[in-house]
Structure 1
């Protein structure tokens, strides 16, 4: 299971050198350099004293870096670059993948599996699920105290004490203890996936006819959304495995927020696997009513909208 915790295919070759910071946003280059320096800094190994007493290794002041910023500014690229630059044992996974690991192995089993890992990379850290977040704060505490370091990207809901900070008021002491272990770095910038501010997800009249060659699916959008309710989000990876494209007919706007959040989780997996989307009906970046966009999950919906624009225009 730990062997599967690697960056998704589109970031298989991500490096700090291949990251292209926008010169109009100096924080991009600054954060790139800071993360590279963090990975390159090695904790001093433990040594024995003159009389055989083992001295604890000298750890950096902070055991992790936490990258916060808007969607499409390269946070995942930098996280994958950190993974590839780490010469020792390391893992890379989304927040959901790590919580699924705890679900499968139990908390202590997960600690035992990951103990001894030099760097744990966590993409899309969720701060809107109290139960899962508490599990992850405990996991970070246990592993960091044994020498593991962390790199994470944020998915902080708007209004959670600002985008550049942990949601300390939501989970108080637990989240504050975790945030004390991290250097929080803000990345500013525009979404690189949108070539124009008015660009939307592509739609077609004949989905079946527009599907590319290869391994594809063809389903009614509402049927897909209904099916997601019967599958745990940790299993969405298996749903899209091996696919080249998915066809969706009669896309409609969401009326239920739970359905919308499940769809967001699927979009993340489709994006990780770079599965093209061919759809008819409402453009997939316009399926979230304004009431949902005005709520606490706005950042998730905008990230998903950005990603479906890229996936629907993959052949452009």
Structure 2
């Protein structure tokens, strides 16, 4: 498989913060949308982009909570959006397009993880529907604004959760196989990365480039609220005093470190001319050879992405399936 999955190297690393990667970059006159931009790494992403001069729009299902979280960022716009509701996605996009603004940066940071089995009104499994399909539809509806930017970037926040499983095209919504929360999460995170691969292929001639990112493990964002205490304890992410462990070399990051790769992909001139790649630690991830996969899986600290996560054929298939599912 021909791929651009080769570290640059960027000069940054696992401990780099979002503030550090954006230093010296002026986003005045640029417009950014950050889903999930009112909590966790999404909030930090929105804060840093705003600080660099960007006009920032934060879509939110809970408007009151979002406004409270963003009150220290004057001028940030908050609009209603529920990724599980196709009508809500369309309404948000219609409102944005009516403003006549180009869209230079779209960071798809919102997501859910390892939830109990839930289905949306269409019968779609909620993690796949929220993490992938909602963002797929959002990008499709916002396409005129992305193309009008004449140089836009879309960042899909994936994760190393792809290790829990690829996309099961024969049973996307767990209608025939037993539901397993982390398998569903892994499928959705693989879908995020594949989406970036195909979006970049389709969009690059119009100046739209796409990237997927692994932010690291940031335990104090609320994302793991459905994960059992036993699983969290076994992962070694808390110390003996119950405090989150910060060890970027083990991918145990602070929120500013976790947002860094998203911000780097959204703004760095180092990525000019590149796209469709999976990134981590503020650099392009190396591709793990299939023969090396067992050793890679045993070393949780080792950077890398597995071939099925960036496979162009799977990415094209997912795009076609997603078009049908979202009409």
Which TM bucket (shorter chain)? 0.3 to 0.5
Looking at secondary structure, tell me which structure has more strand per residue: 1
TM-score (structure 1 length as normaliser): 0.32
TM-score under structure 2 normalisation? 0.32
- Structure (1 or 2) with the larger CA radius of gyration: 1
Return the structure number with greater relative CO, CA threshold 8 A, min gap 6: 2
